[in-house]
Chains A and B, each alone.
Chain A
Amino acid sequence: MRGTIGASLPRPDAFGKVTGETRYPADLVRPGMLHLKVVFAGRPHARILGIDTAAALRQPGVVAVLTAADVPYNAHGLIEDDQPVLCAVGEKVRFAGDKVALVAAESREAAAAGASLVVVTYEDLPAATDPRAALAADAPLVHDRHGSNQLLHLPIRKGTIERGFAEADIVLDGTFSTSWQEHAFLQPEAGIAEVDEQGRLVVETAGQWLHEDRRQIAKILGLPEERVIVRYAAIGGAFGGREDLSIQHLLALAAWTLRRPVALIWSREESIVAHHKRHPMEIRCRWGATYDGRITAVEAEVIADGGAYASTSAEVVKVATLFASGCYEVPHIAADGYAVYTNNVPSGAFRGFGAPQAQFAAEVMVTRLAHTIGMDPVELRRRNIYREGSLEPTQQPLPPGVSALPVLERCVEEAQVHLGYGLAPQSLPATTSLVAESVEADQTATGSLTPRSARGAGNGRHSPSHLRRGVGIACGIKNVGYSFGYPEQSTATVELHGGGDIERAVVRVGAADVGQGSHLALRQIAAETLGVAPGTVEMVCDDSAEAPDAGSASASRMTLMGGRAVRDAAIEALAKWRDTDDLHVEATVQYRPPATTPLAAGTGASQPNYCYGYAAQAVEVEVSLLTGQVQVLRIISVHDVGRAINHQQVEGQIEGCLAQALGYALLEHFQVRDGRVLTPYLSTYLLPTALDMPTEIVPVILELSDPNGPYGARGVAEMPLVPLTPAIAAAIHDATGVWLTQQPMTPERILTALNVGTALEKGSSNEITTTIDTKSTVTAHASK
């Protein structure tokens, strides 16, 4: 039906999710199923000397204890098969969440009791838990056969870095560090599996890519892929955290081996300890610029803790290294990315996929450069930001549809309206209330702490004197879809049924709806293309035997890729429909986007991606100088989505992603010591709540068509996460005069930075230019 594109149609799944009728994987468990319990290693690095299952097998209700000996092909992974399903005697456990045995019992309680009776004897080994130390020649090896802990070293070279720094008038150094992030999807891993009447293995869980789960399960069990069916129940969030196998293969192994229906439900603690995380990274960088605002050189070293198994580390590090210079065209670049094996929890896919870490560093550096040369940070961005035809660090022009600049300009306009950004201080309302409302003296604890810019955007509003407001702006870029030569594709089938008119359309596309609403978006694309009402379109998406491979619901790609496949298949089906009197036609189309190429050895030269999403954000924060607490007051988040297929869903994606981004920036402090997770509960790993979110979020959706996307659509899922941490860092700097370079920016870290800032302020002012920026917002706000 025309006019369907863009319409905020209500989510068909909303009612069930609100009322509790929706069946998530844990709701599929039926009486009579065997319950599974995993025996985890609980230690970071050890050789297994023996596994004694006798006592567990004597536990009433326990039916079997599966070990590595029961696994036909005991290795799996999204890219490299380097992860055992169950760790074998004589082999090693490589992180605390490694799996050693799988107990099957008639009840959950019996399975838990049985698991506690499995006796595993270990020889503990020295653990490699610091990625930089793990690169040393004498570090303990995580994978002995690999010969070193370096999983990947990627150099990207563009221009001549020495020349770039020679051309620069000023050069700034920076070191940034980020920690792990836990996906914390609402629904921990759960599922069921059984062998059906036709002897096929059916696994029903939640995931992000039916056909990839099927591929890995079939390989592990030595079955033809057609013998395995993967189905997804309602998926309670994913964020990249369901890309790797977690329990799918365990369910499959137990059901296939024991020939009985099985169920497995992980607790939150099991989920946090066992599934992969966002990569912690340390980024050391050096940026050069001229006084007239040309960024001439970026040198960067990115070291990522990949944890115990490869997962998608290599790809994440490629993305992070590619974005070491942000969304700016820099003539001279030398960036080196390292993915390192350690005995920590594996790192893998997480919304943003390396882009948030890299651009935390890049965006802060750009703002610092601007302050140092006395230029508005927006103006410096404007002069260097990607434009149509700009050369990437990989030396090829960007794919067409570059909208970084209009996105930034719109963000600045909105920031002027909502945050008073860029208004000269003298034009702001009187500031007397800042002092008049004071209930606490500044001097109590932190000494005479007066920030360089006491302006703050909240001037004129009631605010005690120990609270400082500031505004920050940052940009972001993230690829849509798979990169670096991966054979990217999406396949859809459209069936049309009816006499004269199309009475019923069936769209088959194996696209996971992880909560983002992909099924509705794909349905709207089909309805628009076919010229039928959305209700006429039936979606078949959640069964690997019933729907073709649409690829993963990741990399912000499903609307573009799955949507394009659906649109092309619909167009072809419609053509067939018009040429025939049959009551049924069917068309299957595989869409392949413009090809990307692998990164050339030594230089990284390539066409890395076929599409990018561009974002810019402005935030206002309030910082307590006494406690270091930060409240984000307003966020403006501007995105070019090409075309919003469903406006409300796009806004939902932006708002939801901002919550995850705010948590990443300020709260979510995943802590690991000696390979052991110290924060395995949501009482210790802090997630943002409604009260942590700003009262005002302004999502701004631009629709500048992508040349390949259906109706011009590109993706949006990850983009709001990319600029928020540096935007908040810039706002904190605007408020207080200090830069935070560690994620998350916890109250304690902020207070420490304030105290260091005060100490430096009292000392020699010459030493502080790299830590505290002396020009601060006087220039930032006066020059616009």
Chain B
Amino acid sequence: MFPSQFDYYRPSSLQEAIGLLGANPDAKVLAGGHSLLPAMKLRLTMPGALVDLSHIPELRGINVNGGVTIGAMTTYDEIEVSAELQQRVPMLAEAAAVVGDPHVRARGTIGGSLAHSDPAADLTAVFLALGGEVTAVGSNGERIIGADDLFVDLLTTSLQPDEVITQIKIPLTGRTAMAYEKQEHPASGYAIVGVAAVLTLRDGDHCESARLAVTGCTSKATRLTAAEDALSGQSLNEETITRAAQAASEGLEVNGDLYASEEYRRHLVTVITGRTLRRATGAITR
């Protein structure tokens, strides 16, 4: 189907973009467009205008200097092949590599993914487990939104309508082990269940703290707090991992759909959590 009529703007600076969003209350921000354009074609959304961020140079790029800063319009592809990210935040590069297909990865952006808050996106859970933060700029200026405050609900974030994510920051703290694993939908590649884990380590395989997040089975990327509790302060052995995996779905509101029921997804949360933790800990040198 064809989208409804809309105006198209392609600003060349962030300020211009913010201005356009303020002047067009029914405008939507166009990043990679891989979620927005299909939704428009199905007329699930009918914005009056699109503000295309693809020609704003300051929104692109990866900077690893102390912490990691990634421009919001950086594509999955660019994240996947970044040698610095592969080394410093390997999970992020690995997760970017399993988003959709090559076409999607060439166009889709990290900022777009986070701002869209798709319940089955990959990078939302990865970002949440990494405890990152986004910089949002709008007509009222700039603010920082932490990972735990960004995702509000299904396709809903705490961003204001005229706010744009400009960059994503990932803290780098101490010695960590991390991994992202998912079981994907056979047609779309979206996560049926995806789990990202970041374990902060001390003294060999002692887990000082853990951040785990799930995607694909909840209305938004969600922390697996019960699994985190089962890991924090523990030695990372098979017994701990099994206990954490079995605790993972505790208190989690899991959704089912035509492809996989709530019950099956809940089971997968345990399986995939275990798989994620085993891969994360498999790389630890003891």
Contacts and interface: CB of A to CB of B under 8 A. Distances in A.
A444 B271 contact: yes
Contacts of B282: 439
Contacts of A678: 258
Interface in B219-260: 238, 242, 245-246, 258-260
B278 interface: yes
Contacts of B270: 444-445
B242 A444 contact: yes
A759 to B, nearest CB: 14
Interface string A599-631: 000000000000000000000000000110100
Given A627-B268, A627-B271, A686-B187, A440 B278 contact: yes
Given A627-B268, A748-B261, A667 B275 contact: no
A627 B183 contact: yes
A686 B261 CA distance: 16
Contacts of B259: 669, 684, 686
Contact of B274 (A440, A692, A747, A748): A440
B246 A444 contact: yes
Contacts of B279: 439
Given A440-B275, A443-B242, A686 B186 contact: yes
Contacts of B187: 682-684, 686
A669 B188 CA distance: 16
A622 to B, nearest CB: 16
Interface residues of B, number: 23
Interface of B is mostly: helix
B10 interface: no
B9 interface: no
Interface string A692-709: 100000000000000000
A444 B264 contact: no
A679 interface: yes
Contacts of B274: 440-441, 444-445
A667 B186 contact: yes
Nearest to A685: B187
Chain A CB within 10 Å — which of B245, B246, B258 has the most? B258
Contacts of A679: 258
A222 B258 CA distance: 45
Contacts of B275: 440
B206 interface: no
A8 interface: no
A109 B187 CA distance: 29
A751 interface: yes
B116 interface: no
Interface in B42-63: none
Contacts of B258: 669, 671, 678-679, 684
Nearest to B193: A627
- Residue of A109, A444, A678 with highest tally of chain B CB at under 10 A: A444
A542 B264 CA distance: 50
Residue in A627, A671, A682 with the greatest tally of chain B CB atoms within 10 Å: A627
A748 B260 contact: yes
A145 B258 CA distance: 36
A443 to B, nearest CB: 7
Contacts of A440: 274-275, 278
A751 B264 CA distance: 8
Contacts of A627: 183, 268, 271
Interface string A172-204: 000000000000000000000000000000000
Contacts of B268: 627
A2 to B, nearest CB: 49
Among B183, B186, B258, B278, chain A packs the most CB atoms within 10 A around the CB of B186
Given A441-B238, A443-B242, A444-B246, A748 B278 contact: no
B279 to A, nearest CB: 8
A751 B265 CA distance: 11
A109 B2 contact: yes
A415 B125 CA distance: 45
B107 interface: no
B267 interface: yes
Given A671-B258, A748-B261, A683 B271 contact: no
Nearest to A625: B271
A684 B260 CA distance: 11
A686 B187 CA distance: 6
A43 to B, nearest CB: 20
A636 B246 CA distance: 40
A444 B245 contact: yes
Contacts of A689: 186
Contacts of A748: 260-261, 264
Interface in A491-529: none
Contacts of B264: 747-748, 751
Interface of B: 2, 183, 186-188, 238, 242, 245-246, 258-261, 264, 267-268, 270-271, 274-275, 278-279, 282
22 contacts: A439-B282, A440-B274, A441-B238, A441-B242, A441-B274, A444-B245, A444-B271, A444-B274, A445-B271, A626-B271, A627-B268, A629-B183, A667-B186, A669-B258, A671-B258, A683-B187, A683-B188, A684-B187, A684-B258, A747-B260, A747-B264, A748-B260
Q: 9 nearest interchain CB pairs?
A: A748-B264, A444-B274, A626-B271, A445-B270, A683-B187, A445-B271, A686-B186, A686-B187, A444-B245
Given A441-B274, A445-B274, 9 more contacts: A440-B274, A445-B267, A626-B271, A627-B183, A627-B271, A667-B186, A684-B187, A748-B264, A751-B264
